[in-house]
Chains A and B, each alone.
Chain A
């Protein structure tokens, strides 16, 4: 059972999108996250640094041939914080408006 805990750091829109991507991944390359979220390199670096400083994200730098390749993954603490945050969001929705409780929780992601 996940204990709901609203996380201000994760809830910021861009960081919520980044953490959501990483929560479904073992790892994701920098370019994948950047292209999915349509962010600039510097904007993404800034957000990843904030998440890394909080211990939620681990950044790995490696080389594929001669090209540097940066990837990111959620740490165990990051996964836990994300699951608690999702639980907190669901709790807010269920408490405020029961008819919206299933919104965003179903199998179709075609909203938002």
Chain B
């Protein structure tokens, strides 16, 4: 190998190292912005509380239980969206795009649909504690599907990060 070729290879190697560093740092931001697994467990637990108090049918328990559970879900969700607990907010508009937003909305509708469908179906056949069972089913969907959704969104955002794929072409 000539000296010039050796120098070119060294330059290519150091430049590739810089590109790898860029990928690593952008991956760190994307990872920090993803919803952690405990969020899905916490929201699932709050959902089950709502189902359980709905079945219990005591007005005071119902009022306190639903208020507390909704507050937990709302606070956690706002924290996740705002990124306030991580100290960084990912460029979701550029990195997620319409496809990523559609995945999130689709997942929410899937969980809501499953929960309501289960609840009304169980109630129609006279099953005991239909709301508790339905919210538990929704909770299981959250705990299993949430991390799967996050994995899909991570791959999408890594594919759309600066310079990789022209915005709007990545799936």
Contact = CB atoms under 8 A, between A and B. Distances in A.
A36 B28 contact: yes
A47 B168 CA distance: 32
Kindly state the interface size class of chain B when it binds its partner: 35 or more
Interface string A68-108: 00000000000100110011011011001100100111111
Interface stretch (B9-17, B50-58, B59-67, B121-129): B9-17
Nearest to A104: B19
Given A23-B22, A29-B88, A109-B27, 8 more contacts: A16-B21, A20-B26, A23-B161, A93-B15, A100-B16, A104-B16, A107-B155, A109-B23
Identify whether the interface residues of B are mostly helix, strand, loop, or mixed: helix
Contacts, number: 130
B26 A24 contact: yes
A11 interface: yes
A112 B162 contact: no
Contacts of A87: 163
A89 B29 contact: no
Nearest to A32: B87
B20 A104 contact: yes
- Most A CB contacts (10 A, CB to CB) among B11, B19, B158, B162 go to B19
Interface string A44-83: 0000000000000000000000000000000000010011
